[in-house]
A and B are shown apart, each in its own frame.
Chain A
């Protein structure tokens, strides 16, 4: 050791001279000097930063406020100005928010926005009560509510399960009550009863509790029935097809559906990836790595152009629904990895504790592991929501006009073509995206800090 260090240049041979006493850092000027002008490099960096600020900030302020045109009805107001053309935004704001949704029906998207905000805000505030009910309402009820209000509901449901194999149309039950086809609901009743019977017989054979199985199945069937009833019932709303949706509405619909739908799928995949059963694990890994390995654009193309080939002839989805399927599969893979992080953070003692209490796999997961893991990963989920919110812009490549798509469409309006229209549009959309994303990332940060405080 000592022989090696003898000739080495990094070992000091004499003591350092005493350092000067620390500069008095109290007061603004010494602080400034220390932070900005302590040596030549520091001075150069300060000057460089100042140059960047001077290059960016004053022109931006001039463009957005000082030189901006605030009132007007057409391009004539803006064509001679070098600032932002805000009347352009005023004229197009409906298109940016609702797309081509009929203007007299704006109350419907507005209602959905308000209901969503009322459900999300208490969910996001940690101190707010009734978290479970709130989550059920937002994740379970709200999607159907939003669908019915936006689309108009009253779907033309004809066949459930049995009806696909047996023709029930021949029965004298062709009637229709409030938009509900009786044939469909008869089909539903028959199919439900058949499923129940099969489940009870199967559980009797393998020796499980038939009662518990029947209870669970009835609950599931009941939920499905309620959901179908909601979308099938005729509320007297004028139907508005998804082709007319657009703007911020589509951005929010895609992002929120993607996150909400990918959550259960992501949980299953994350559990599958950590499962001890090799086939389950392998299938989960393949699914996750496949979707994580390809760009979202290819996924959207896959959902839009390739998926129809793989479905039975005659089954044709709506374009937005196809994009939603692609987005959900894609974000489920990312969600699974976020949740896996949470699962891995749960100490082994929790699993062992659950096992020693005699809990089975699903009991352990539902009552012990997932409640803890999901709380840990909330910031991660918010972050993937931000990523998805930004990625939503990609749907414009498959001809669905979200906020960015509407912006692009608005640029081609000759009524508003002026030298500053483009910059104005980008400034507006940029501010909207920034407010949403920065707000959410602040929230994720707040949650992380809060969790860090709790664990201390």
Chain B
């Protein structure tokens, strides 16, 4: 090492020049790579003679889909099939998220229970489920459990309302006759009033400390309003029960075995992870918090509701959202059992028929990406609002 400072700092050692050069080189490399890929794709597609562009979305699909929430037939377009797949994905994700949350919270709380046996049972559940691949579980439910169910005549029944057999799950169907919309509006109005009531009750409590029985009142309103409308309109909503006729069930709604298998696997799998998040969230709240609440004279339930859970939720919510996203993304495994979700309908059947891999896979990825990014954007907003304000 020389003892004198070098007279001139070489350009390489200048941090600003360096950072500029690195970024320019990276940008050039990325643009070059992108150009190379696009160029290759253009050459390859021209050589293959496959159609390009999104025109195929308007052409007739010509295949049937076993479960459709919106009108769809074989003569509908590929674009319509895309929408059917998307709604099916949203359906299974939505139902899955609700059920997984319920089961997950139950499992998480059970693991912390003072009841030794219950904590052990919940712990074993989490341990077993988390250590088996999800696809393994989906195939297990579909191939082993559901296929081993008896035929329609020996179906398992739940209070004669719902029936489970090898052909799927048969549940009662709601029949909407004219006038049922009024019942719906009545319910919405009741919902609006009860939200206002809660808002009012909260303000009242903040201002004067006097409690206002908003909970009971809104419960009464929520039941009474639709009930009155229901009776006034002459009972426009009926229930159609599934009934065994001959060798199959008539009436009610049939839920495909694929849907049942996928739902059960997704819910039990995600619930195990949610359970762990809930447990970690509750454990993260310092013991002093509940002790302080108890020493203020709160009952155990009150302290849980007003002190522990609001703080635990702050910890639980981000990983919980992650699990919701995982469930949504994992629902694409539907393709393994043939449930017609977005991936199976679009990246599966449509890709097979049209061969337009680039457009189709890009669209499929874009849908999942949009869901993910939108959720994490909302999550960041929520986090910013909920984060502890540190001084």
Contacts and interface: CB of A to CB of B under 8 A. Distances in A.
Interface of A: 4-12, 35-36, 38, 42, 45-46, 48-50, 52-53, 206-208, 276-280, 283, 289-290, 292-298, 301-302, 305-306, 308-313, 386, 389-394, 396-397, 404, 408, 411, 419, 422-423, 426, 429-430, 433-434, 437-438, 441
Contacts of B10: 206-208
A441 to B, nearest CB: 7
Interface stretch (B158-166, B179-187, B247-255, B358-366): B358-366
Contact of A426 (B19, B37, B45, B140): B140
Contact of A278 (B23, B347, B368): B23
A207 B115 contact: no
Contacts of B343: 295, 297-298
A42 B30 contact: no
Q: Top 4 closest A-B pairs, CB basis?
A: A207-B10, A293-B372, A437-B131, A12-B297
Contacts of A5: 209
A7 B210 contact: yes
Given A53-B121, A292-B372, A313-B47, 16 more contacts: A6-B209, A36-B115, A45-B113, A206-B11, A280-B23, A283-B30, A289-B372, A294-B372, A301-B351, A301-B364, A305-B351, A390-B133, A404-B139, A430-B140, A434-B132, A441-B131
A367 to B, nearest CB: 18
A404 B115 contact: no
B329 interface: yes
Interface of B: 10-12, 19, 22-23, 26-27, 30, 37, 40-41, 43-45, 47, 113-118, 120-121, 127-128, 130-136, 139-140, 143-144, 147-148, 208-211, 296-298, 302, 329-330, 332-333, 335-336, 343, 347, 351, 357-358, 361-362, 364-365, 368-369, 372-373
B325 to A, nearest CB: 8
A50 B117 contact: yes
Most buried by B among A5, A206, A301: A301
Q: Interface SS of chain B: helix, strand, loop or mixed?
A: helix
A413 B169 CA distance: 29
Most chain A CB within a 10 A radius of its CB, from B27, B133, B211? B133
Given A293-B372, A393-B133, A394-B135, A283 B26 contact: yes
B116 A36 contact: yes
B167 to A, nearest CB: 18
Contact of B22 (A4, A277, A411): A277
Main SS of chain A's interface residues?
A: helix
B332 A298 contact: yes
A301 B330 CA distance: 15
Given A8-B209, A295-B330, A306-B358, A404 B136 contact: yes
Nearest to B372: A293
A276 B20 CA distance: 11
14 contacts: A10-B296, A11-B297, A35-B117, A206-B12, A280-B23, A293-B373, A294-B369, A295-B343, A297-B343, A298-B365, A306-B362, A408-B143, A411-B143, A423-B144
A386 B133 CA distance: 10
B135 A396 contact: yes
B12 A313 contact: no
A392 B37 CA distance: 27
A285 B329 CA distance: 20
A313 B297 contact: no
Contacts of A50: 117
A9 B306 CA distance: 14
Given A48-B118, A277-B19, A277-B22, A313 B44 contact: yes
B27, B136, B208, B358, most chain A CB atoms within 10 A: B136
A365 to B, nearest CB: 14
A280 B347 CA distance: 32
A110 B14 CA distance: 53
B34 to A, nearest CB: 10
A432 B289 CA distance: 43
B112 to A, nearest CB: 12
B131 A422 contact: no
Contacts of B11: 206-207
A8 B130 CA distance: 46
Q: Which of A4, A290, A419, A430 has the most CB of B within 10 A?
A: A430
A278 B22 CA distance: 11
Nearest to B44: A309
A313 B127 CA distance: 48
Contact of A297 (B44, B333, B373): B333
Nearest to A440: B131
Contact of B335 (A8, A297, A423): A297
Contact of B132 (A53, A280, A390, A408): A390
Nearest to B144: A422
Contacts of A386: 131
Nearest to B206: A4
Given A277-B19, A393-B133, A35 B114 contact: yes
Contacts of A46: 115, 117-118
Contacts of B364: 298, 301
B131 A279 contact: no
Contacts of B208: 7
A280 B27 CA distance: 8
Given A49-B115, A207-B10, A309 B45 contact: yes
Given A283-B26, A292-B372, A433-B136, A311 B40 contact: yes
A442 to B, nearest CB: 10
A398 to B, nearest CB: 10
A276 B19 CA distance: 9
B369 to A, nearest CB: 4
B133 A10 contact: no
A294 B133 contact: no
Nearest to B17: A206
Contacts of A35: 114-117
Contacts of B113: 45
B361 A306 contact: yes
Contact of A280 (B26, B210, B330, B358): B26
Contact of B357 (A294, A305, A438): A305
Given A46-B115, A295-B368, A298-B347, A426 B144 contact: yes
A49 B106 CA distance: 13
A434 B365 contact: no
Nearest to B364: A298
Most buried by A among B19, B298, B351: B19
B28 to A, nearest CB: 11
B40 A312 contact: yes
A49 B118 contact: yes
Nearest to B45: A309
A430 to B, nearest CB: 6
Given A208-B12, A429-B136, A298 B361 contact: yes
A306 B357 contact: yes
A30 to B, nearest CB: 13
